[in-house]
A and B are shown apart, each in its own frame.
Chain A
Amino acid sequence: MNDRCALDRLTCVLCPVGCELEVLKDEAGGLDVQGNQCDKGVPFAVEEILHPKRNLATSVPVRGTAATMVSVRLSGPVPREMIFPILAEIGRLRPEAPVRRGQVLIADVLGTGVDVIATRTVI
């Protein structure tokens, strides 16, 4: 056993083995990953601890149609801390029908390089 405190415990989701990873701080202040059965587990855990990225999904009211809502998501994951600022941007959206699946509703949202896209077709 060592007395260094574990920063986090997480399950690697890169393959079905699902290694249980433990991330510790090493003497130099870097991250030490344990529990991985292959090389891919280390960058996975380091990224998840230092720069976690997430997608986000919600739905917004749509105008000009009987359907009430159009669902939206991001075209790719963004740094986790951007989720709530982006939600505020999406909250202002009131798209007009027709909206097509995959249609860009906000391009490069808040300079993240990802788009807010519609995830269903509303005619």
Chain B
Amino acid sequence: MDPIETHDVVVIGGGPAGLAAALGARRAGAGKVLLVERDRALGGILNQCVHDGFGLFLYNETISGPEYAERLIEDVVREPIRIETGAMVLDLTPDRVLRINSRAGYRLVRAGAVVLAMGCRERTREMIEIPGTRPAGVFTAGSAQNLVNLQNFRIGNEAVILGSGDIGLIMTRRLTFEGVAVKGVFEIMPWVSGLERNVRQCLLDLGIPLRLRSTVVEIRGRDRVESVVVAKVDEELAPIPGTESVIPCDTLLLSVGLIPENELSKRAGVALSPSTGGAVVDQALMTSVPGVFSCGNVLHIHDVADWASYEGFAAGGSAARYAAGERAAGGTVRITAGPNVKYALPQLVTAGTAGVEWSFRTTRPIRNAQIVVKGITTGKVHARKKFGRLLPSELQKIKMRRAVEEDLEVGCHE
């Protein structure tokens, strides 16, 4: 069967990254752009993030998620971008043929370039293997956010939050506002995984206890959660016998991590990085499959939506140039994560490229940190930047002005 329809750029996903990618593609000269979103409306996760704090970088003011989405969508609909909501991309081949199922039916689409912007999903109870019964009342924080903010459900009366990710912190405040008694936030690590301002505004302001080095070791209840058992953990994150306590509650929220949603990427043969869970990309955000680009939470988990959008603009622009026949010339340089660095992205750079900027995260909180970009064989320092404090929760950046000519390591030193 031959493809019946071609586009210069097809963007998969209409959240903060995908919307920006469609715009970025148009601004870089792409003629025909198709934006495919599986939900009924554009905006992605922004629609349920009613709290403010979005747009500080993109719009220079702090607005809520729905406002941020609407502003981006207004820019998108002004462009001759074909928007398809309620449409699912079922498959993507290495030569960029998409199988799309939509209200109009099933069809094939051939793309000059593809931008992956499918976002991420939440880790569940099964993935962290909490023992106990299987009653109602166990929610991931994001699904609870959807139920409360978009569907007006009261999800429970007394809640415990496991994990200190941002969505869990935001939902702690949200549930408290709705009259739900939040008994405490339990975090297995010795540090909080969400942003500092959320700890302050969502926990400290409301007097919600935060217990680090603690986790839920059992869920109890027959039809509905009746209590959870929490315990302290040791250095190996194993529960310490004798430290258990029972907390009566009818609701458990899980905020225990996000996973880039790369099922389509895998089908296309895109190489993934074990440290980001997303694609391995070059400075143009191109994956190992030529003409397939990646941005936003499907590439790596962001803490600020604005950065996902900036990545989207960049990936969309790269995709438009690829579709127009532009190719990077030169060998490939590899960038590895050095001491205390979880990952540095992009992981590949075309030799001779100047002004490359890496996003990176540290593996743990580090004070008086110095980030160093150095040559692996020469040991030559090509860029360095000082930070008063680096937290694993904060995505940071470092730029190298000079052209990249050798394999590099991005490391963090105290």
Residues of A within 8 A of B (CB): 10-11, 13, 17-20, 37, 52, 54-59, 61, 68-69, 71-73, 80, 87, 101-102, 119-121
Q: Contact between B196 and A57 (Cβ–Cβ < 8 Å)? A: no
For A122, the closest partner residue in chain B by CB is: B66
Task: Give the residues from 159 to 184 in chain B that come closer than 8 angstroms, CB to CB, to chain A.
Answer: 174, 177-178
Query: When the two chains form the complex, which single residue of B51, B148, B150, B388 contacts A19, counting CB atoms closer than 8 Å?
Result: B388
> In the assembled complex, how far is the CB of residue B370 from the closest CB belonging to chain A, in whole angstroms?
14
7 contacts between A and B (CB under 8 A): A57-B64, A59-B148, A68-B151, A68-B152, A69-B150, A71-B64, A101-B66
List, in ascending order, chain A residues with CB within 8 A of B152's CB: 59, 61, 68-69
Q: Contact between B50 and A71 (Cβ–Cβ < 8 Å)? A: yes
Q: Contact between A58 and B177 (Cβ–Cβ < 8 Å)? A: yes
Task: Give the residues from 12 to 68 in chain B that come closer than 8 angstroms, CB to CB, to chain A.
Answer: 47, 50-52, 62-64, 66-67
Query: When the two chains form the complex, which single residue of B63, B174, B178, B205 contacts A54, counting CB atoms closer than 8 Å?
Result: B205
Query: When the two chains form the complex, which single residue of B52, B70, B149, B200 contacts A55, counting CB atoms closer than 8 Å?
Result: B52
Query: When the two chains form the complex, which single residue of A57, A68, A69, A102 contacts B52, counting CB atoms closer than 8 Å?
Result: A57
Q: Contact between B66 and A119 (Cβ–Cβ < 8 Å)? A: yes
For A17, the closest partner residue in chain B by CB is: B388
The CB with the most chain A CB atoms within 10 A, among B51, B148, B151, is that of B51
Check if B389 is an interface residue, CB within 8 A of chain A: yes
Query: When the two chains form the complex, which single residue of B51, B70, B150, B196 contacts A68, counting CB atoms closer than 8 Å?
Result: B150
Instruction: Report the bound CA distance from A69 to B147 in whole Å.
Output: 11
Q: Contact between A11 and B64 (Cβ–Cβ < 8 Å)? A: no
List, in ascending order, chain B residues with CB within 8 A of A52's CB: 205
Check if B327 is an interface residue, CB within 8 A of chain A: no
> In the assembled complex, how far is the CB of residue A35 from the closest CB belonging to chain B, in whole angstroms?
10
Q: Contact between B177 and A59 (Cβ–Cβ < 8 Å)? A: no
Q: Contact between B196 and A119 (Cβ–Cβ < 8 Å)? A: no
Q: Contact between B70 and A120 (Cβ–Cβ < 8 Å)? A: yes
Check if B275 is an interface residue, CB within 8 A of chain A: no
Count of B residues near A, CB < 8 Å?
Answer: 26
List, in ascending order, chain A residues with CB within 8 A of B47's CB: 120
Check if B197 is an interface residue, CB within 8 A of chain A: yes
**Given A59-B50, A61-B152, also A101-B200 (CB < 8 A):** no
Instruction: Report the bound CA distance from A87 to B149 in whole Å.
Output: 14
Task: Supply 11 further A-B pairs (C-beta < 8 A) apart from A59-B148, A68-B152, A73-B51.
Answer: A37-B388, A55-B62, A57-B50, A69-B151, A69-B152, A73-B50, A80-B205, A101-B70, A119-B63, A119-B64, A120-B70
Check if B157 is an interface residue, CB within 8 A of chain A: no
List, in ascending order, chain A residues with CB within 8 A of B245's CB: none
> In the assembled complex, how far is the CB of residue A69 from the closest CB belonging to chain B, in whole angstroms?
6
Instruction: Report the bound CA distance from A88 to B18 in whole Å.
Output: 37
Which 4 residue pairs spanning A and B have beta carbons closest together? A120-B66, A71-B50, A119-B64, A57-B50
> In the assembled complex, how far is the CB of residue A76 from the closest CB belonging to chain B, in whole angstroms?
10
Instruction: Report the bound CA distance from A37 to B368 in whole Å.
Output: 13
The CB with the most chain A CB atoms within 10 A, among B47, B63, B66, B177, is that of B66
List, in ascending order, chain B residues with CB within 8 A of A101's CB: 66-67, 70
Task: Give the residues from 384 to 414 in chain B that come closer than 8 angstroms, CB to CB, to chain A.
Answer: 388-389
Check if B243 is an interface residue, CB within 8 A of chain A: no
Check if B201 is an interface residue, CB within 8 A of chain A: yes
List, in ascending order, chain A residues with CB within 8 A of B148's CB: 59
The CB with the most chain B CB atoms within 10 A, among A18, A71, A102, is that of A71
